[in-house]
Amino acid sequence: MIPIDHPRYHSLVTRERLADAARKGVVAMEGLTAHGRGEAFDYLLGERTTMSALRAERTAAALLLSARHPVISVNGNTAAIAATEIAALQKATGALVEVNLFHRTEERIQLIEDLLTNAGADVFSGPAERLLPLSHDRAWCRREGMYAADVILIPLEDGDRCEALVKMGKTIIAIDLNPLSRTARAASLTIVDELTRAVPEITRASQELDTDDCACLISRLDNHYLLAEAICEMTTRLTACSGLKNTGQTP
Amino acid sequence: MIPIDHPRYHSLVTRERLADAARKGVVAMEGLTAHGRGEAFDYLLGERTTMSALRAERTAAALLLSARHPVISVNGNTAAIAATEIAALQKATGALVEVNLFHRTEERIQLIEDLLTNAGADVFSGPAERLLPLSHDRAWCRREGMYAADVILIPLEDGDRCEALVKMGKTIIAIDLNPLSRTARAASLTIVDELTRAVPEITRASQELDTDDCACLISRLDNHYLLAEAICEMTTRLTACSGLKNTGQTP
């Protein structure tokens, strides 16, 4: 058991939850490695929601609220870490929740849909088709779901799929702790924040914003600025954490 | 299958090798997450051996060659990724190879010792005792092995154990991609480089250095400088990769 007063309690509990989910088949082995990469970038952010991330989260709420047909795409890691938070976001925005997996089997789809349903989400299910221009199994989705969406929230996505969705003309909101990733760069809006911090902030903003707030946030969206701010936060922390002066001279 | 001309071929093959090893029980679930954290820092290094890392690797060779009783401590991740490289380093330095696990079971010890033996290493085995001042299972080691060592190479180590070994008066060489980690800061010498790049460089240097070279490298060892250089490399890359000017103004 991890003591609740441990300074990194939240991070350690999330890691244990993912390892359990991997043992049950919800999370792929590759999903554990991907989570570790995220942990490293979150460490560089100071494991907190930065001001620029909060701005991105409020803009994400504005995009979801203003959408004609918003969809939240959920994979194994997202379901294992944040099923309850996704259900709350769905209630606040009216978005469809649809499962999409990289390591796709019917059994994993079922496991993850059950996990989301038990957490209170209303999962858009039913027969999928190979509709996205991708060679791997992430091409599968539902015609009336992600394929018809105008705005899609993709937490913890791979770069290929993010790029394909943007090319289809959709507005893509990514949640990605690596501001240098292809996903982060291809998305219309990138939230550089940890999933269980980011999703409740989007939900909170969705309950607060009116139509004018939404229009204002969307008109001022500048993803280059948001990514640059995230990188700046990490650079500052790397340098400050080092506590070392680098003279540039060989000793 | 990952195509051999993929720009990140080496990283992807290593990741697959670890996922396989996790399915066999060699690598712990937590080991996969730890590997992901390393990947993120390696990405920031540009997935290459920097000049300061090479200097650290040559100094590591000097320390191992000058030791009275050098030991290489091997865990599940190290065995899964670099068993062959560890065997070659043992041949070049005459160090003992001893297995030490965080998630310790007799079955995992046996699996990992077999893996090392099959890769050509001569594993120092036999009954272990709880000899290190640590509450968890990493306290177990052999009296004539790690406990008696003056210099220990600890690839991919946890902070508690590194600190305990340093407090026992041993010279500790860490291989750790996170220059901010407790391990990196507590070690006598920290190599901020990926394992399968670092170990062959230590082996190569061990075959080249004479007694005078070793004395010179050891006398000039400055771990603060090496860590500062690694942090500087990462900061530079973060900023350069961004390709963005941060004006510091809200758009």
The single-letter DSSP state of residue B147 is G
In Å, how far is B143's CA from the nearest CA of chain A? 31
B7 exposure class (CB count in 10 Å sphere: 0-12, 13-18, 19+): exposed
Q: Is the dihedral of CA A183, A189, A193, A196 positive or negative?
A: negative
**Cβ within 8 Å, pair A15-B33:** yes
How many other CB atoms sit within 10 Å of the CB of residue B241? 15
Give the model's pLDDT for residue B248. 42
Q: Has residue A247 got a pLDDT over 60? A: no
Which residues on adjacent β-strands are paired with residue A173? A153, A189
Domains of chain A: 51-235 (3.40.50.12640)
Write the DSSP assignment of B96-125 as a string of letters: EEEE--SS--HHHHHHHHHHHHHTT--B--
In Å, how far is A228's CA from the nearest CA of chain B? 6
The set of residues, in sequence order, having a beta carbon less than 8 Å from that of A83 and lying 6+ positions away, is A115, A116, A118, A119, A121
In Å, how far is A144's CA from the nearest CA of chain B? 33
A26-53 pLDDT per residue, tens: 998 889 999 999 999 999 999 999 999 9
Six-digit token string for B79? 């065995």
User: In the predicted model, what is the mean pLDDT of residues B192-201?
Assistant: 97
Lowest mean pLDDT among B68-72, B75-79, B134-138, B193-197: B134-138
Proportion of chain B above pLDDT 70, given as a percent = 93
Give the model's pLDDT for residue B177. 97
Helices B223-242 and B29-45: crossing angle, nearest 10°? 80
**Cβ within 8 Å, pair A36-B41:** no
Give the model's pLDDT for residue A6. 67
Nearest CA in chain B to A219: B251
**Cβ within 8 Å, pair B36-A41:** no
Note the ipTM here.
0.84
**Cβ within 8 Å, pair B33-A19:** yes
Dihedral angle of Cα B132, B134, B138, B140, to the nearest 10 degrees: 40
The β-bridge relationship of strands B140-141 and B129-130 is antiparallel
Give the model's pLDDT for residue A243. 58
How many other CB atoms sit within 10 Å of the CB of residue A114? 13
Q: Between residues B66 and A14, which one has the greater pLDDT? A: B66
Six-digit token string for A156? 């913890």
Query: What 3 state SS string does A104-127 have?
Result: CCHHHHHHHHHHHHHCCCCECCCC
Q: Has residue B164 got a pLDDT over 60? A: yes
A58-117 pLDDT per residue, tens: 999 999 999 999 999 999 999 999 999 999 999 999 999 999 988 788 899 999 999 999
Question: Which of B34, B222, B235 lies closest to A239 in CB terms?
Answer: B235
Dihedral angle of Cα B245, B247, B250, B251, to the nearest 10 degrees: -60
Full-model pTM: 0.87
Q: Is residue B238 less than 8 Å (CB to CB) from chain A?
A: yes
Q: Between residues A2 and B71, which one has the greater pLDDT? A: B71
Q: Is residue A8 less than 8 Å (CB to CB) from chain B?
A: no
Measuring CA to CA, how many Å separate A97 from each of A79, A104, A112, A188, A203? 11, 17, 12, 20, 14
CA dist B151 and B70 (Å) reads 5
Containing A57, the helix (H) or strand (E) segment is helix A51-66
**Cβ within 8 Å, pair A244-B227:** yes
B131-158 pLDDT per residue, tens: 888 877 778 888 899 999 999 999 998 8
Q: Has residue B6 got a pLDDT over 80? A: no
CA dist A85 and A116 (Å) reads 10
A193-239 pLDDT per residue, tens: 999 999 999 999 999 999 999 999 999 999 999 999 999 999 998 88
Report for A104-108, B2-6, B224-228: range of highest mean pLDDT? B224-228
E-strand ranges in A132-233 read 140-141, 151-155, 171-175, 189-191
